[in-house]
């Protein structure tokens, strides 16, 4: 029996592959490598000392996807594959709807055809829009402010409708807050293409001198120091959350959403000062205008995941900064140096 991981070469996907392999699961990865590198999976194999099948195709190719289910005995699916850049989604919304929603519908159709009805879906705290109150619980109002967030929200609704039509499905909707950090080996980590949108890869690229300074998007929010507050969660804690959700869904039916966050918020300036202390590197920054669509404060009430999945984040902000820094300083160009080569899989 194997677990199919779509988008397994991505930041959270690759860390989840490590967690599942170390828990002695067999895995199969499908990735179209549009926003990830095969090298990440080679390194997952190196870290764990385990091998696994990798299929390189887009989930929109239904026939290819059926082949995976014919060639492997799939027990459950963890579905990461999708486009995830907020700004980009505003520029090319149709690509986001096509890639994120259509591919999920195709995945569910194929799962149904092969009678595989255990699904962990990679959702996001972005479905809470600008939260009305913090900490945010799973029954908070849901609304999305950009096409990317709308795809996550729509997919959650599609999966709820699917469950209503056939209650033999077992589905976990995992709403991530702000994933940062990297595996302690420094071999896998966040590898954004082009200029990073998210703060931590931007900070680490400033720290290695690739970018000149960090722009801090506003310091006039109603927060401890005026800068935005977020619930940063270590990607390894997040990966462990997927393992716990997988174990939960494989033993029952139903559909449930879970916040995967620490329940603690830190401001941008707190993040910067923690990173500087840990890395010993000064991060030059400049306060600029707020970024449209940003909320002032967003952090999780993670008690439902604790109660129902037996999961809680363990790693603190200092460890997140240390692990992000180790990854970036050991891989100043991410996986890029191997881009030209067909990494051995």
For residues 190 and 19, what is the distance between their CA atoms, to the nearest angstrom?
16
Residues contacting ligand WQD: total by CB under 6 A: 19
> Cβ of residue 100: shortest distance to ligand WQD, in angstroms?
11
Instruction: Identify which of residues 286 and 342 has a Cβ nearer to ligand WQD in the complex.
Output: 286
* Binding track over 245-284 against ligand WQD, x by CB under 6 A: -----------------------x----------------
Task: Work out the burial of residue 235: count CB atoms within 10 Å of its CB; fewer than 13 is exposed, 13-18 middle, 19 or more buried.
Answer: buried
The residues that are catalytic are 148
Select from 18-26, 57-65, 69-77, 210-218 the region that touches ligand WQD (CB under 6 A).
210-218
> Cβ of residue 4: shortest distance to ligand WQD, in angstroms?
21
> Cβ of residue 233: shortest distance to ligand WQD, in angstroms?
10
Classify the C-alpha dihedral 40-67-244-154 as positive or negative. positive
Tell me: does residue 205 bind ligand WQD (CB under 6 A): no
Residue 17 Cα to chain centre, angstroms: 12
Tell me: does residue 178 bind ligand WQD (CB under 6 A): yes
Tell me: does residue 216 bind ligand WQD (CB under 6 A): yes
Distances (CA, A) of 294 to 145, 159, 185, 246, 343: 9, 27, 33, 32, 38
Instruction: Identify which of residues 31 and 42 has a Cβ nearer to ligand WQD in the complex.
Output: 31
Tell me: does residue 198 bind ligand WQD (CB under 6 A): yes
Select from 16-24, 27-35, 131-139, 196-204 the region that touches ligand WQD (CB under 6 A).
196-204
Cis peptide before 61 (omega within 30 of 0): no
The closest of 155, 149, 131, 152 to 141, measured between CA atoms, is 131
Tell me: does residue 27 bind ligand WQD (CB under 6 A): no
In degrees rounded to 5, what are phi and psi of residue 236? -70, -35
Question: What is the separation, in whole angstroms, between the first and last Cα of the chain?
Answer: 21
Helices (H) and strands (E) in the chain, counts: 12, 14
Q: Which residues of this chain interact with ligand WQD, rule CB under 6 A?
A: 84, 86, 124, 126, 176, 178, 197-199, 202, 214-217, 228, 230, 268, 291, 294
């Amino acid at each position: 029996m194997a677990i199919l991981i779509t988008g397994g070469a991505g930041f959270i996907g690759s860390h989840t592959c490590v967690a599942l392999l170390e828990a002695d699961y067999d895995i199969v990865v499908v990735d179209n490598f549009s926003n990830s590198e095969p090298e990440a999976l080679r390194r997952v194999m190196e870290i764990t000392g385990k091998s696994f099948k990798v299929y390189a195709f887009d989930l929109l190719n239904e026939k290819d996807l059926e082949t995976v289910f014919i060639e492997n005995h799939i027990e459950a699916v963890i579905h990461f594959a999708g486009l995830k850049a907020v700004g980009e989604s505003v520029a090319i919304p149709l690509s986001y709807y096509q890639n994120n929603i259509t591919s999920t519908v195709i995945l569910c159709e194929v799962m149904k055809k092969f009678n595989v009805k255990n699904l962990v879906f990679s959702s996001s705290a972005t479905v809470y829009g600008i939260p009305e109150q913090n900490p945010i619980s799973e029954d908070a109002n849901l609304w999305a402010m950009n096409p990317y967030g709308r795809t996550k929200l729509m997919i959650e609704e599609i999966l709820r409708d699917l469950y209503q039509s056939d209650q033999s499905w077992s589905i976990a909707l995992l709403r991530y807050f702000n994933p940062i950090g990297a595996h302690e080996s420094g071999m896998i980590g966040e590898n954004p293409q082009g200029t990073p949108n998210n703060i931590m890869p931007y900070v680490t690229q400033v720290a290695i001198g690739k970018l000149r300074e960090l722009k801090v998007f506003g310091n006039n929010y109603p927060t401890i120091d005026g800068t935005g507050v977020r619930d940063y969660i270590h990607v390894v804690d997040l990966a462990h959350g997927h393992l716990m959700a997988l174990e939960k869904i494989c033993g029952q039916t139903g559909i449930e959403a879970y916040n995967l966050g620490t329940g603690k918020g830190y401001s941008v300036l707190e993040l910067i000062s923690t990173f500087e202390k840990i890395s010993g590197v000064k991060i030059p920054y400049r306060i600029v205008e707020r970024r449209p669509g940003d909320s002032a404060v967003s952090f999780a009430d993670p008690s439902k995941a604790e109660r129902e999945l037996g999961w809680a984040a363990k790693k603190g902000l200092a460890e997140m900064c240390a692990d992000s820094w180790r990854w970036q300083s050991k891989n100043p160009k991410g996986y890029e140096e191997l881009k030209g080569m067909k990494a051995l899989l």
